[in-house]
Amino acid sequence: MSDLTRRSFLTWTGMGALSVAAMSLAGCSSAGSSGGGDSVRFAWWGGSDRQRAYLAALDAFTAEHPEIKVAPEFGDYDAYQERMTTQMAARDVPDVFWIPSPAVLTYRDAGLYRDLDGVEGLDLSAFGADQVETFKLGGKLDTLPKSIFSPVVRWNTTFQEEDGVTLPDQLSWDGLAELLVDYAKNNAGGRKGTTYGPYHDMPFESFLRQRGEDLWTEDGTLGASVDGVAAWIDWWEKLRLAGATTSVSEQDGIEPSWSQVGDKVLLTFANSNHIVDDAQAFPDYVFDQRDVPAAEDAAAGYHFTYYSRFAMYSGVPDDRVAAAASLMSFNLNSPELLSLVGLSAGAPPNAELLDAYEPDATPDEQKVIAITREIAGTEQRPRFEAPAGSGSWRDLMIRELEEVTLGQKRVPDAAAAFVEAVEGEIAGA
Protein backbone atom coordinates (compact mmCIF):
# COMPACT_ATOMS: atom_id res chain seq x y z
CA MET A 1 0.00 0.00 0.00
CA SER A 2 2.94 2.35 0.47
CA ASP A 3 3.44 2.31 -3.29
CA LEU A 4 -0.09 3.57 -3.89
CA THR A 5 0.21 6.88 -5.70
CA ARG A 6 -2.13 9.54 -6.94
CA ARG A 7 -1.11 8.62 -10.47
CA SER A 8 -2.04 4.94 -10.03
CA PHE A 9 -5.38 6.02 -8.54
CA LEU A 10 -6.14 8.13 -11.57
CA THR A 11 -4.95 5.38 -13.92
CA TRP A 12 -7.94 3.24 -12.85
CA THR A 13 -10.39 6.03 -13.53
CA GLY A 14 -8.88 7.50 -16.68
CA MET A 15 -9.48 10.96 -15.19
CA GLY A 16 -6.07 12.54 -14.68
CA ALA A 17 -7.40 16.07 -14.31
CA LEU A 18 -9.69 15.33 -11.36
CA SER A 19 -8.23 15.44 -7.87
CA VAL A 20 -8.62 12.51 -5.48
CA ALA A 21 -10.34 14.72 -2.91
CA ALA A 22 -12.85 16.05 -5.42
CA MET A 23 -13.53 12.55 -6.68
CA SER A 24 -14.24 11.29 -3.17
CA LEU A 25 -16.56 14.17 -2.37
CA ALA A 26 -18.37 14.00 -5.68
CA GLY A 27 -18.84 10.25 -5.45
CA CYS A 28 -17.00 9.87 -8.76
CA SER A 29 -20.22 10.74 -10.58
CA SER A 30 -18.32 11.90 -13.66
CA ALA A 31 -16.89 8.39 -13.98
CA GLY A 32 -20.36 7.05 -14.67
CA SER A 33 -22.23 6.55 -17.91
CA SER A 34 -21.94 10.15 -19.00
CA GLY A 35 -18.22 10.71 -18.46
CA GLY A 36 -16.53 7.46 -17.51
CA GLY A 37 -16.69 5.70 -20.83
CA ASP A 38 -15.93 2.03 -20.31
CA SER A 39 -14.92 2.39 -16.65
CA VAL A 40 -16.56 -0.02 -14.21
CA ARG A 41 -17.81 2.01 -11.25
CA PHE A 42 -17.21 0.25 -7.92
CA ALA A 43 -18.67 1.62 -4.66
CA TRP A 44 -17.93 0.61 -1.08
CA TRP A 45 -17.79 2.18 2.38
CA GLY A 46 -15.27 2.34 5.21
CA GLY A 47 -12.60 4.39 6.88
CA SER A 48 -9.34 5.58 5.41
CA ASP A 49 -7.49 2.29 6.03
CA ARG A 50 -10.12 0.29 4.15
CA GLN A 51 -10.16 2.81 1.35
CA ARG A 52 -6.40 2.57 0.90
CA ALA A 53 -6.55 -1.23 1.01
CA TYR A 54 -9.22 -1.46 -1.66
CA LEU A 55 -7.49 1.09 -3.86
CA ALA A 56 -4.37 -1.05 -3.70
CA ALA A 57 -6.49 -4.10 -4.50
CA LEU A 58 -7.93 -2.35 -7.55
CA ASP A 59 -4.37 -1.71 -8.66
CA ALA A 60 -3.84 -5.48 -8.54
CA PHE A 61 -7.08 -6.06 -10.45
CA THR A 62 -6.12 -3.73 -13.28
CA ALA A 63 -2.71 -5.39 -13.46
CA GLU A 64 -4.55 -8.67 -14.14
CA HIS A 65 -7.12 -7.02 -16.42
CA PRO A 66 -5.41 -4.06 -18.14
CA GLU A 67 -8.35 -3.75 -20.52
CA ILE A 68 -10.70 -2.84 -17.63
CA LYS A 69 -10.68 0.56 -15.98
CA VAL A 70 -12.28 0.94 -12.55
CA ALA A 71 -13.77 4.15 -11.16
CA PRO A 72 -13.79 3.86 -7.33
CA GLU A 73 -16.50 5.52 -5.23
CA PHE A 74 -16.25 5.40 -1.45
CA GLY A 75 -17.20 7.18 1.76
CA ASP A 76 -18.02 6.42 5.35
CA TYR A 77 -21.10 4.31 6.03
CA ASP A 78 -23.59 7.15 6.49
CA ALA A 79 -22.28 9.19 3.55
CA TYR A 80 -22.34 6.09 1.37
CA GLN A 81 -26.04 5.49 2.06
CA GLU A 82 -26.93 9.12 1.43
CA ARG A 83 -25.08 9.09 -1.88
CA MET A 84 -26.74 5.84 -2.93
CA THR A 85 -30.17 7.35 -2.23
CA THR A 86 -29.33 10.27 -4.50
CA GLN A 87 -27.93 7.99 -7.19
CA MET A 88 -31.00 5.73 -7.04
CA ALA A 89 -33.27 8.70 -7.66
CA ALA A 90 -31.17 9.70 -10.66
CA ARG A 91 -30.76 6.07 -11.86
CA ASP A 92 -27.02 6.73 -11.82
CA VAL A 93 -26.01 3.79 -9.63
CA PRO A 94 -22.46 2.33 -9.63
CA ASP A 95 -21.97 -0.82 -11.68
CA VAL A 96 -20.85 -2.89 -8.67
CA PHE A 97 -21.74 -1.77 -5.15
CA TRP A 98 -21.84 -2.86 -1.52
CA ILE A 99 -25.29 -3.10 0.07
CA PRO A 100 -25.96 -1.66 3.55
CA SER A 101 -27.71 -4.27 5.71
CA PRO A 102 -30.98 -2.31 6.22
CA ALA A 103 -31.26 -1.73 2.46
CA VAL A 104 -30.97 -5.22 0.96
CA LEU A 105 -34.65 -5.58 0.15
CA THR A 106 -35.19 -1.84 -0.31
CA TYR A 107 -32.65 -1.83 -3.13
CA ARG A 108 -34.15 -5.01 -4.56
CA ASP A 109 -37.64 -3.54 -4.58
CA ALA A 110 -36.24 -0.45 -6.30
CA GLY A 111 -34.98 -2.68 -9.12
CA LEU A 112 -31.28 -2.05 -8.54
CA TYR A 113 -30.02 -5.63 -8.86
CA ARG A 114 -29.12 -7.46 -12.05
CA ASP A 115 -29.93 -11.17 -12.19
CA LEU A 116 -26.54 -12.88 -11.87
CA ASP A 117 -27.62 -16.32 -13.01
CA GLY A 118 -25.50 -17.24 -16.01
CA VAL A 119 -23.72 -13.87 -16.26
CA GLU A 120 -20.61 -14.14 -18.45
CA GLY A 121 -17.38 -13.69 -16.52
CA LEU A 122 -18.84 -14.37 -13.05
CA ASP A 123 -16.84 -17.17 -11.45
CA LEU A 124 -18.77 -19.06 -8.77
CA SER A 125 -16.81 -22.29 -9.14
CA ALA A 126 -15.59 -22.12 -5.51
CA PHE A 127 -19.14 -22.52 -4.22
CA GLY A 128 -21.27 -25.66 -4.24
CA ALA A 129 -24.83 -25.57 -5.55
CA ASP A 130 -26.26 -25.79 -2.03
CA GLN A 131 -24.17 -22.84 -0.90
CA VAL A 132 -25.22 -20.76 -3.89
CA GLU A 133 -28.83 -21.45 -2.92
CA THR A 134 -28.20 -19.77 0.44
CA PHE A 135 -27.01 -16.63 -1.37
CA LYS A 136 -30.35 -16.15 -3.11
CA LEU A 137 -33.07 -13.70 -2.12
CA GLY A 138 -36.54 -15.06 -2.75
CA GLY A 139 -35.06 -17.77 -4.95
CA LYS A 140 -33.20 -15.32 -7.20
CA LEU A 141 -29.44 -14.93 -7.43
CA ASP A 142 -29.21 -11.16 -7.69
CA THR A 143 -26.74 -10.45 -4.84
CA LEU A 144 -23.65 -12.21 -3.53
CA PRO A 145 -21.96 -12.18 -0.11
CA LYS A 146 -18.75 -10.18 -0.02
CA SER A 147 -18.09 -11.26 3.57
CA ILE A 148 -19.66 -13.10 6.49
CA PHE A 149 -19.77 -12.44 10.23
CA SER A 150 -21.84 -13.15 13.33
CA PRO A 151 -22.61 -11.56 16.71
CA VAL A 152 -20.09 -12.24 19.47
CA VAL A 153 -19.04 -11.26 22.96
CA ARG A 154 -15.58 -9.69 22.97
CA TRP A 155 -13.56 -9.24 26.13
CA ASN A 156 -10.29 -7.73 27.25
CA THR A 157 -8.07 -10.65 28.28
CA THR A 158 -5.56 -8.25 29.80
CA PHE A 159 -8.23 -6.99 32.23
CA GLN A 160 -9.46 -10.54 32.75
CA GLU A 161 -6.02 -11.67 33.90
CA GLU A 162 -5.36 -8.55 35.98
CA ASP A 163 -8.67 -8.89 37.80
CA GLY A 164 -8.76 -12.69 38.09
CA VAL A 165 -12.00 -13.11 36.15
CA THR A 166 -13.09 -16.52 34.84
CA LEU A 167 -15.61 -16.74 32.02
CA PRO A 168 -17.57 -20.00 32.28
CA ASP A 169 -17.51 -22.45 29.40
CA GLN A 170 -21.31 -22.25 29.13
CA LEU A 171 -22.39 -18.63 29.21
CA SER A 172 -26.06 -17.80 29.79
CA TRP A 173 -27.68 -14.36 29.74
CA ASP A 174 -28.41 -14.54 33.47
CA GLY A 175 -24.92 -15.83 34.21
CA LEU A 176 -23.29 -13.06 32.19
CA ALA A 177 -25.38 -10.40 33.92
CA GLU A 178 -24.33 -11.70 37.33
CA LEU A 179 -20.67 -11.77 36.27
CA LEU A 180 -20.77 -8.19 34.95
CA VAL A 181 -22.44 -6.82 38.09
CA ASP A 182 -19.91 -8.57 40.33
CA TYR A 183 -17.01 -7.37 38.21
CA ALA A 184 -18.10 -3.73 38.30
CA LYS A 185 -18.38 -3.90 42.10
CA ASN A 186 -15.15 -5.70 42.82
CA ASN A 187 -12.41 -4.85 40.28
CA ALA A 188 -9.67 -2.58 41.56
CA GLY A 189 -9.40 -0.42 38.45
CA GLY A 190 -12.84 1.18 38.61
CA ARG A 191 -13.82 -0.48 35.35
CA LYS A 192 -17.35 -1.37 34.35
CA GLY A 193 -18.54 -4.75 33.19
CA THR A 194 -19.64 -3.54 29.76
CA THR A 195 -20.93 -0.58 27.82
CA TYR A 196 -24.64 0.16 27.82
CA GLY A 197 -25.30 -1.70 24.59
CA PRO A 198 -28.92 -2.53 23.70
CA TYR A 199 -28.35 -0.69 20.39
CA HIS A 200 -26.27 -3.68 19.17
CA ASP A 201 -28.41 -5.03 16.36
CA MET A 202 -27.00 -8.50 15.73
CA PRO A 203 -26.85 -9.59 19.41
CA PHE A 204 -30.43 -8.29 19.70
CA GLU A 205 -31.39 -10.50 16.77
CA SER A 206 -29.70 -13.51 18.38
CA PHE A 207 -31.55 -12.80 21.65
CA LEU A 208 -34.87 -12.79 19.78
CA ARG A 209 -34.07 -15.95 17.84
CA GLN A 210 -33.28 -17.75 21.08
CA ARG A 211 -36.84 -16.88 22.15
CA GLY A 212 -38.19 -18.44 18.93
CA GLU A 213 -38.83 -15.06 17.32
CA ASP A 214 -37.28 -13.48 14.24
CA LEU A 215 -36.35 -9.86 13.83
CA TRP A 216 -37.87 -9.97 10.32
CA THR A 217 -40.25 -12.48 8.80
CA GLU A 218 -40.29 -14.12 5.39
CA ASP A 219 -43.32 -12.09 4.35
CA GLY A 220 -41.60 -8.78 5.14
CA THR A 221 -42.94 -7.85 8.56
CA LEU A 222 -41.42 -7.22 11.98
CA GLY A 223 -41.11 -10.56 13.75
CA ALA A 224 -40.09 -9.16 17.13
CA SER A 225 -42.89 -9.10 19.68
CA VAL A 226 -43.40 -6.38 22.27
CA ASP A 227 -42.50 -8.92 24.96
CA GLY A 228 -39.30 -9.87 23.13
CA VAL A 229 -38.19 -6.26 22.71
CA ALA A 230 -39.06 -5.50 26.33
CA ALA A 231 -37.07 -8.50 27.58
CA TRP A 232 -34.01 -7.29 25.67
CA ILE A 233 -34.22 -3.71 26.94
CA ASP A 234 -34.95 -4.92 30.46
CA TRP A 235 -31.82 -7.12 30.50
CA TRP A 236 -29.74 -4.05 29.77
CA GLU A 237 -31.63 -1.77 32.12
CA LYS A 238 -30.99 -4.06 35.06
CA LEU A 239 -27.28 -3.95 34.28
CA ARG A 240 -27.29 -0.17 33.91
CA LEU A 241 -29.20 0.43 37.13
CA ALA A 242 -26.85 -1.95 38.98
CA GLY A 243 -23.85 0.11 37.84
CA ALA A 244 -22.47 -2.69 35.67
CA THR A 245 -22.39 -0.60 32.49
CA THR A 246 -20.90 2.70 31.58
CA SER A 247 -23.54 5.39 32.03
CA VAL A 248 -25.04 7.10 29.03
CA SER A 249 -23.14 10.26 29.96
CA GLU A 250 -19.85 8.35 30.37
CA GLN A 251 -20.21 6.88 26.91
CA ASP A 252 -21.59 10.14 25.49
CA GLY A 253 -24.90 8.78 24.30
CA ILE A 254 -26.59 5.50 23.46
CA GLU A 255 -24.01 4.62 20.78
CA PRO A 256 -20.50 5.09 22.22
CA SER A 257 -17.31 5.43 20.26
CA TRP A 258 -15.14 2.37 20.88
CA SER A 259 -12.05 4.57 21.21
CA GLN A 260 -13.81 6.38 24.05
CA VAL A 261 -14.96 3.36 26.08
CA GLY A 262 -12.71 0.45 25.07
CA ASP A 263 -10.36 0.91 28.03
CA LYS A 264 -13.19 1.29 30.55
CA VAL A 265 -14.95 -2.09 30.29
CA LEU A 266 -14.19 -5.78 30.61
CA LEU A 267 -16.49 -6.92 27.85
CA THR A 268 -18.67 -5.74 25.00
CA PHE A 269 -20.96 -7.10 22.31
CA ALA A 270 -19.81 -6.80 18.72
CA ASN A 271 -19.73 -8.41 15.30
CA SER A 272 -17.06 -11.05 14.84
CA ASN A 273 -15.04 -8.92 12.39
CA HIS A 274 -14.87 -5.82 14.61
CA ILE A 275 -11.95 -7.15 16.64
CA VAL A 276 -9.59 -6.58 13.71
CA ASP A 277 -9.95 -2.80 13.78
CA ASP A 278 -11.03 -2.29 17.39
CA ALA A 279 -8.03 -4.09 18.90
CA GLN A 280 -5.72 -1.70 17.07
CA ALA A 281 -7.23 1.20 19.00
CA PHE A 282 -5.74 -0.26 22.21
CA PRO A 283 -2.45 -1.96 21.28
CA ASP A 284 -1.45 -2.43 24.93
CA TYR A 285 -4.36 -4.82 25.50
CA VAL A 286 -5.21 -8.27 24.16
CA PHE A 287 -8.79 -9.11 23.20
CA ASP A 288 -10.61 -12.35 22.52
CA GLN A 289 -14.14 -13.26 21.50
CA ARG A 290 -16.70 -16.03 21.75
CA ASP A 291 -20.28 -16.87 20.91
CA VAL A 292 -23.03 -14.75 22.51
CA PRO A 293 -24.75 -16.06 25.65
CA ALA A 294 -27.44 -18.69 25.22
CA ALA A 295 -30.65 -19.01 27.19
CA GLU A 296 -31.11 -22.40 28.82
CA ASP A 297 -34.25 -22.94 26.75
CA ALA A 298 -32.90 -21.36 23.56
CA ALA A 299 -34.86 -22.34 20.44
CA ALA A 300 -33.11 -24.71 18.05
CA GLY A 301 -31.30 -23.11 15.12
CA TYR A 302 -31.01 -19.66 16.65
CA HIS A 303 -27.46 -19.14 15.39
CA PHE A 304 -26.99 -17.22 12.16
CA THR A 305 -24.21 -16.16 9.85
CA TYR A 306 -24.80 -12.76 8.34
CA TYR A 307 -24.03 -12.22 4.65
CA SER A 308 -22.77 -8.72 3.90
CA ARG A 309 -23.79 -8.42 0.26
CA PHE A 310 -22.79 -6.72 -2.95
CA ALA A 311 -24.48 -6.57 -6.33
CA MET A 312 -24.31 -5.56 -9.97
CA TYR A 313 -26.55 -2.70 -11.04
CA SER A 314 -29.44 -3.68 -13.26
CA GLY A 315 -28.70 -0.73 -15.53
CA VAL A 316 -25.14 -1.71 -16.42
CA PRO A 317 -24.79 -1.50 -20.22
CA ASP A 318 -24.62 -4.92 -21.84
CA ASP A 319 -21.12 -4.28 -23.17
CA ARG A 320 -19.87 -3.62 -19.60
CA VAL A 321 -21.51 -6.58 -17.85
CA ALA A 322 -18.60 -9.01 -18.40
CA ALA A 323 -16.11 -6.46 -17.00
CA ALA A 324 -18.32 -5.84 -13.96
CA ALA A 325 -18.61 -9.60 -13.48
CA SER A 326 -14.82 -9.92 -13.59
CA LEU A 327 -14.55 -7.34 -10.83
CA MET A 328 -17.12 -9.23 -8.74
CA SER A 329 -15.20 -12.48 -9.30
CA PHE A 330 -12.02 -10.74 -8.16
CA ASN A 331 -13.78 -9.72 -4.94
CA LEU A 332 -14.97 -13.29 -4.38
CA ASN A 333 -11.89 -15.27 -5.33
CA SER A 334 -8.68 -13.24 -5.29
CA PRO A 335 -6.00 -14.21 -2.73
CA GLU A 336 -4.21 -10.97 -3.52
CA LEU A 337 -7.25 -8.87 -2.66
CA LEU A 338 -7.71 -10.74 0.62
CA SER A 339 -4.04 -10.25 1.49
CA LEU A 340 -4.49 -6.50 1.02
CA VAL A 341 -7.88 -5.89 2.66
CA GLY A 342 -7.72 -8.57 5.37
CA LEU A 343 -10.73 -9.51 7.50
CA SER A 344 -11.81 -6.15 8.89
CA ALA A 345 -15.05 -6.38 6.87
CA GLY A 346 -15.56 -10.06 7.72
CA ALA A 347 -14.38 -13.45 6.53
CA PRO A 348 -14.68 -14.30 2.83
CA PRO A 349 -17.50 -16.72 1.93
CA ASN A 350 -15.01 -18.62 -0.22
CA ALA A 351 -13.79 -21.33 2.19
CA GLU A 352 -10.80 -22.27 0.03
CA LEU A 353 -9.67 -18.65 0.02
CA LEU A 354 -10.00 -18.45 3.80
CA ASP A 355 -8.03 -21.69 4.25
CA ALA A 356 -5.21 -20.35 2.12
CA TYR A 357 -5.18 -17.03 3.98
CA GLU A 358 -5.26 -18.46 7.50
CA PRO A 359 -1.52 -19.23 7.94
CA ASP A 360 -0.65 -15.57 7.34
CA ALA A 361 -3.58 -14.09 9.27
CA THR A 362 -2.86 -11.79 12.21
CA PRO A 363 -3.65 -13.05 15.72
CA ASP A 364 -6.88 -11.04 15.78
CA GLU A 365 -7.84 -12.32 12.34
CA GLN A 366 -7.24 -15.86 13.59
CA LYS A 367 -9.92 -15.16 16.18
CA VAL A 368 -12.30 -14.04 13.42
CA ILE A 369 -11.62 -17.26 11.53
CA ALA A 370 -12.11 -19.44 14.59
CA ILE A 371 -15.51 -18.03 15.56
CA THR A 372 -16.64 -17.92 11.93
CA ARG A 373 -15.98 -21.63 11.57
CA GLU A 374 -17.54 -22.42 14.93
CA ILE A 375 -20.80 -20.64 14.17
CA ALA A 376 -20.91 -21.83 10.56
CA GLY A 377 -20.95 -25.38 11.92
CA THR A 378 -24.04 -24.86 14.07
CA GLU A 379 -27.66 -25.63 13.21
CA GLN A 380 -29.24 -22.51 11.71
CA ARG A 381 -32.85 -21.90 10.84
CA PRO A 382 -33.58 -19.45 7.98
CA ARG A 383 -32.90 -15.78 8.53
CA PHE A 384 -34.66 -13.00 6.62
CA GLU A 385 -33.49 -9.55 5.52
CA ALA A 386 -34.98 -6.25 6.67
CA PRO A 387 -38.00 -5.31 4.52
CA ALA A 388 -38.40 -2.07 2.61
CA GLY A 389 -39.37 0.76 4.94
CA SER A 390 -37.49 -0.61 7.93
CA GLY A 391 -34.20 1.16 7.29
CA SER A 392 -34.55 3.51 10.26
CA TRP A 393 -35.37 0.81 12.81
CA ARG A 394 -32.08 1.28 14.66
CA ASP A 395 -32.80 5.00 15.04
CA LEU A 396 -36.25 4.15 16.38
CA MET A 397 -34.69 1.78 18.90
CA ILE A 398 -32.20 4.44 20.02
CA ARG A 399 -35.04 6.94 20.44
CA GLU A 400 -36.86 4.59 22.79
CA LEU A 401 -33.69 3.74 24.71
CA GLU A 402 -33.09 7.43 25.29
CA GLU A 403 -36.60 7.75 26.72
CA VAL A 404 -36.01 4.82 29.06
CA THR A 405 -32.59 5.95 30.31
CA LEU A 406 -33.91 9.45 30.95
CA GLY A 407 -36.70 7.99 33.05
CA GLN A 408 -39.34 9.34 30.70
CA LYS A 409 -40.76 5.98 29.62
CA ARG A 410 -41.21 2.53 31.16
CA VAL A 411 -39.59 -0.43 29.41
CA PRO A 412 -42.89 -2.07 28.34
CA ASP A 413 -44.12 1.24 26.93
CA ALA A 414 -40.87 1.81 25.05
CA ALA A 415 -41.01 -1.69 23.57
CA ALA A 416 -44.61 -1.17 22.45
CA ALA A 417 -43.76 2.20 20.92
CA PHE A 418 -40.81 0.70 19.05
CA VAL A 419 -42.90 -2.11 17.58
CA GLU A 420 -45.68 0.28 16.59
CA ALA A 421 -43.26 2.71 14.93
CA VAL A 422 -41.41 0.05 12.93
CA GLU A 423 -44.63 -1.62 11.78
CA GLY A 424 -45.96 1.79 10.76
CA GLU A 425 -42.91 2.60 8.67
CA ILE A 426 -43.02 -0.77 6.90
CA ALA A 427 -46.74 -0.36 6.19
CA GLY A 428 -46.13 3.11 4.78
CA ALA A 429 -43.25 2.10 2.50
In a domain, 382, yes or no: no
Q: Has residue 245 been placed in a domain?
A: yes
| pLDDT, position 377 | 94
Q: Name, in order, each residue with C-beta under 8 angstroms of 92's C-beta and a sequence gap of 6 or more.
A: 29, 32, 33
Residue 429 has a pLDDT of 85
AA identity, residue 92 = D
Residue 10, pLDDT above cutoff 80:
no
Give me the DSSP letters along 163-195.
HT----SS--HHHHHHHHHHHHHH-TT--EEE-
Residues 144 and 10 in one domain: yes
* Cβ contacts of 23 within 8 Å, gap of 6 or more: 13, 15, 31, 72
CATH number, domain of 180, equals: 3.40.190.10
Picking from 207, 112, 107, 114, the residue whose alpha carbon sits closest to that of residue 153 is: 207
How far apart, in whole angstroms, are the C-alpha atoms of residue 99 and residue 86? 15
0.75 exceeded by pTM: yes
What is the reported pLDDT for 106? Answer: 94
Q: Kindly tell me if the per-residue pLDDT of 1 is higher than 70.
A: no
Query: Which among 5, 56, 2, 32 is positioned nearest to 13, based on CA atoms?
Result: 32
- Of 114, 67, 121, nearest in space to 94 by CA: 114
State whether 265 and 180 are in the same domain. yes
Q: Are residues 297 and 312 in the same domain?
A: no
Residues 115 and 240 reside in one and the same domain: no
31 falls within a domain: yes
- pLDDT confidence bin for 4, thresholds 50/70/90: very low
50 and 138 both lie in a single domain: yes
Q: Which of 20-24, 264-268, 322-326 is predicted least confidently?
A: 20-24
Determine, yes or no, domain membership for 381. Answer: no
Number of domains making up the chain: 2
Which residue among 376, 398, 419 closes a domain? Answer: 376
Kindly report, residue by residue over 90-104, the tens digit of the pLDDT.
999 999 999 999 999
Q: What CA–CA distance (Å, rounded) separates 238 from 382?
A: 31
Does pLDDT of 308 surpass 80? yes
pLDDT digits (tens, 9 = 90+) for 117-150: 999 999 999 999 999 999 999 999 999 999 999 9
Q: Is residue 49 part of a domain?
A: yes
- Give yes or no: residues 82 and 162 share one domain: no
Q: Residue 27 pLDDT > 90, yes or no?
A: no
Q: What is the pLDDT of residue 190?
A: 95
- The reply to whether 361 falls in a domain is yes
* pLDDT surpasses 70 at 13: no
Total Cβ atoms within 10 A of residue 234: 16
Q: How far is CA 247 from CA 197, 234, 236, 243, 281, in A?
A: 10, 15, 12, 8, 21
Supply the pLDDT for residue 38: 73
Residue 6 has pLDDT above 50, yes or no: no
Please state the φ and ψ torsions of residue 158, each to the nearest 5 degrees. -65, -45
- The pLDDT value recorded for residue 297 is 96
**How confident is the model at residue 96, as a pLDDT?**
98
Question: b/e string for 111-121 if b means 16 or more Cβ within 10 A?
Answer: ebbbebeebee
pLDDT recorded at residue 266: 98
Expressed as residue numbers, the domain containing 140 is 6-148+308-376
Cβ atoms 393, 386 nearer than 8 A: yes
Residue 1 inside a domain? The answer is no
156 and 144 fall within a common domain: no
3-state secondary structure string, 80-108? HHHHHHHHHHHCCCCCEEECCHHHHHHHH
Which DSSP letter does residue 299 get? P
Mean pLDDT, range 161-173, rounded to an integer: 95
Q: Which of 5-14, 53-62, 257-266, 347-356 has the lowest mean pLDDT?
A: 5-14
* Average of per-residue pLDDT values in the chain: 91
Kindly state whether residues 274 and 419 are assigned to the same domain. yes
Quick one: 227 and 241 in the same domain?
yes
- Whether residues 178 and 294 share a domain: the answer is yes
Give the pLDDT confidence score for residue 260 in this predicted structure: 94
Res 23 pLDDT > 90: no
CB count in 10 Å sphere of residue 358: 14
In a domain, 384, yes or no: no
Residues 198 and 278 in one domain: yes
**Same domain flag for 158 and 47:** no
Give tens-digit pLDDT for 371-398. Answer: 999 999 999 999 999 999 999 999 999 9
DSSP class per residue in 331-372: HHH-HHHHHHHTTTT-B-S-HHHHHHHGGG--HHHHHHHHHH
pLDDT of residue 25: 36
pLDDT in tens, 195-253: 999 999 999 999 999 999 999 999 999 999 999 999 999 999 999 999 999 999 999 99
